[in-house]
Structure 1
Amino acid sequence: MPGWHERTKELQQQGTVLMLGITQEQHPERCRLFMQWKQMEWPVLVDSLDLLDVSVVPITLLIDEHGIIRAKAPKSSDLEEFLALSYEMPEDVVEPGATPLLGSLRTRARRVGSGPAWLAYGDALFLWGGEARLDEMVAAYQEALRLSLDPGRAHFRLGTVLRRRFESIHRRPGDFRAAVEQWQAALDLDPNQYIWRRRIQQYGPRRDKPYPFYDWVARAREEITARGGTPVPLPVDPVGAEIAHPARSFPAVGERPEEPDPQSRIRRDPGRFIAVETTVVPPRVAPGESVRVHLALRPVTEKKAHWNNEAKDLVVWVDPGQGVAVDRQYLSVANPDQEVSQETRKLEFEVRLPEGAEGTALQVSAYALYYVCEDVDGTCLYRRQDIPVTIPLK
């Protein structure tokens, strides 16, 4: 993309050529930040659902003024020839239609009762319905999946919406885990689908990564700021797996750290104050393979629970068990500057299963230690919560 931008910059300035991009990015703002960083000002459309059914990227096309594709994967000589020719308006050009009425699409889906009709309604909700209708999107794709004869697309799009809801104020417990399951189900149906595979690898272990997905974000912000600009804000910053570099071998663990509660003396919080979600990516692996475990710890709002940031940091201890390797046993999250807070705290670690693992799943034990308070003026407590991690086996 940057190569063609440089090659056609003068033509763009002259108005001879219009550059237009389409990205299958889950997070549109990250694409905006990249474009700002590279100082590419042409429009980019976002196709998070892969509505174009693209299986491999990048794809470069030459399109004439009537919207007709004239060349695919062109060379510089093809561009010169393309610009030298003039094209007549075809007789069968279809004019773009108006934005569909969501109510009409819902009525049609209910009347027709087919997978494609519900898929179309879900797509329209995603594009024009807004975040407030995320639950309806999930329901539409679930119905499309139930009725579909070709469920791969429905699986992928349902996963995309579930991840979007996970990152919103409308999140429900298990949304991220369910998203990963849907993406994997889609990939199982079409293992050659590059876009679907990359979505899982984005959150997966380093041994399965083709490249670091978003390690450029910090550098982009620095360079934009240095030249006097304000970087595009990101609603969801990439962390952990999203910025991790590939590793061809499982990282060796150094000296074993000191376990924080070896005698199991700290009183338990059974989830009354802090709710814990675990997500394993990919959701199923064979013996000898690796997974990335994502932990999300959230104060229970019904109890008005909040983190006590004047005490020690949140820590997590991982006890992998016999024959299982982890890249880290001791993890922590530093307290923010304010005295109390209610943010979600996320941690990640990787697990390599033994070659001889048997059965349907492998269990890894972990626990979290944290200081939590109940209500504004309530009692502040030091608590431990045991976190069982289940890794399903293929």
Structure 2
Amino acid sequence: MQKYVRDGKLVVLGIAQEQHPARNRLFAQWHNIDWPILHDPINLMQVAGVPIEVAIDEHGIVRSMRPKAETFEQDFIDKAFSPAAAELPGKRVKATRPDLAALRRRAEQSGSADAWRELGDAIVLWGGSAKVNDAIKAYTQAIEVKPDDGDANFRLGVCYRMRYESEQRTPADFQAAVDHWTRARAINPNQYIWRRRIEQYGPRLTKPYPFYDWVETAAREIEARGEKPVELKVLPTGSELAQPDRSFETGEGDIKPPDPQGRVFRDEQNLILMEVTVVPPHAKPGQTVRVHVTLRPNSKKKAHWNNEAEPLKLWIDPPSGFEVQPQLLTAPQGDKPETSETRRLEFEVRAPADASGTAKLSAYALYYVCEDIGGVCMYLRQDIPVTIVVDRE
């Protein structure tokens, strides 16, 4: 293919259905891919599976879907295409930035799900994260009109995750993203892109492969070439790096809870803010979910971690019959005595085969946190409620 490009016989353009565009750029840099790659986080192309190779001739006409490599040169590269009269476009249209105000008026006047979804699409692709709240409102309107709109549900999930990774985040955004991705998959279980987005953050038992285990290797090899790797503003989480595992082995031996009697003072000032996300949001009996616990120092109170003491610990005490792996987690310390980074811990829960309804897990975090810079440092506990919904249907 590179030979055809060098000889001027072929122009290559990629389109990636990826939540994070910087990861596309890092992958392309790693493999020396120099052709343009368009970012389609909302799957506007409605691709059901990847990869797809499309051969488009010099007239802009699709000549082949999934062309065969062994006959590609004969069937496409060295072939001159003359469009039939019916294929000749009456007028070439230049792509321009959409008129968002006009699209909004159309949606408000028609009230149709399609119009609201198309407004959301335009806002995401042309407005970016700065306009994500407007996109969320548009997709929400589309779903209110047509609850079984799978595209709108998936794209709303993308927007919630986009907002979660911005300064506009709300604590419920990640769970909202997962909930809408799950609804989209329920509407169309054959949609590959939707299923993969849930698996990206889900348990190891359902992962087809580790999604981003290549990131560290890519950065290291790029640096070895004397280049600066593309910076990732959103680093892969534990679930995105995890290897698939078809077994569920707790195997931790006789571990002891770090505060069995609950004697450590509670964080009543909310110096550390907590979020919980369960992926997928519902489990079947005998199946597994992955729980994401996010802990952020409260910036309004200028709180920060004390890294000169014991590290943050998370203990999970499951109800009878439920299994947890791991049951005790420890977060890495910061590289300075006082830091204020977000800390994320993940564990997996398997429901018993006879489970149904809602189960409550008792979990708590223990950490050293300080008030303001140079302020009082305390060893505190925060109880973390985790709800697992088991659906037998």
TM superposition score category, shorter chain reference: over 0.9
The aligned residue for residue 111 of structure 1 is: 109
- The answer on whether the counterparts of 1:48 and 1:160 sit within 8 Å (CA) in structure 2 is yes
Of 83, 87, 94, the match for 2:81: 87
Give, in angstroms, the shift of residue 377 of structure 1: 4.4
The reply on whether 1:199 has 2:197 as its aligned counterpart is: yes
Matched, 1:308 2:333: no
Q: Assess, with a 3 A threshold, how the Cα gap between structure 1 residues 352 and 199 changes in structure 2: closer, same or farther.
A: same
CA distance in 2, matches of 1:79, 1:312: 63
Correspondence for 2:34: 41
RMSD: 1.5
Uncovered stretches (5+) of structure 1, i.e. residues with no partner: 1-7
Structure 1 contact 253–326 (Cα < 8 Å) conserved: no
Following superposition of structure 1 onto structure 2, how do residues 69-218 of structure 1 map, counting pairs within 5 Å?
69-76=62-69, 77-89=71-83, 90-92=87-89, 94-148=92-146, 150-218=148-216
Distance 1:353 1:9 in 2: 51
Tell me the distance in 1 between the aligned counterparts of 2:32 and 2:316. Answer: 44
Matches within 5 A, 1:311-322: 311-322=309-320
C-alpha displacement at 1:95, in angstroms? 2.3
Please show how residues 186-335 of structure 1 align to structure 2 within 5 Å: 186-270=184-268, 272-335=270-333
1:149 is displaced (CA, Å) by 6.5
AA matched with 2:74: E
Structure 2 unmatched runs, 5+: none
Residue 383 of structure 2 corresponds to residue 386 of structure 1: yes
Aligned partners of 1:176, 1:339: CA distance in 2, in Å?
Answer: 30
Contact residue 200 and residue 240 of structure 2 kept, 8 A: yes
CA distance in 1, matches of 2:147, 2:241: 37
| Contact 2:362–2:384 (Cα < 8 Å) also in 1 | yes
The aligned amino acid for 1:102 is L
Partner secondary structure for residue 344 of structure 2: strand
Give the Cα–Cα distance (whole angstroms) in 1 for the partners of residues 385 and 206 of structure 2: 24
Please say which of residues 112-121 and 286-295 is displaced more in the overlay: 112-121
Q: Distance in 2 between matches of 1:329 and 1:108?
A: 53
Amino acid at match of 1:275: L
**Residues of 2 paired with 1:132 and 1:24: CA distance?**
20
1:369 aligns with 2:366: yes
Count of aligned pairs between the two proteins: 386
TM-score w.r.t. length of structure 1: 0.94
Paired letter, 1:283: P
For the residues of structure 2 that align with 1:169 and 1:384, how far apart are their CA atoms? 26
* Cα offset, 1:30, TM superposition: 0.8
Q: Which moved more, 1:58-67 or 1:140-149?
A: 140-149
Which region of structure 1 is more displaced relative to structure 2, 234-243 or 306-315? Answer: 306-315
| Worse-matched range after superposition: 378-387 or 90-99 | 90-99
CA offsets 1:274-328 (integer angstroms, 9 cap, x no match): 1111101011011100010000011222322222222221111111232211111
Structure 2: distance between partners of 1:356 and 1:271 = 40
Q: Aligned-pair distance for 1:143?
A: 0.9
Q: Does the 8 A contact of 1:271 with 1:385 survive in 2?
A: no
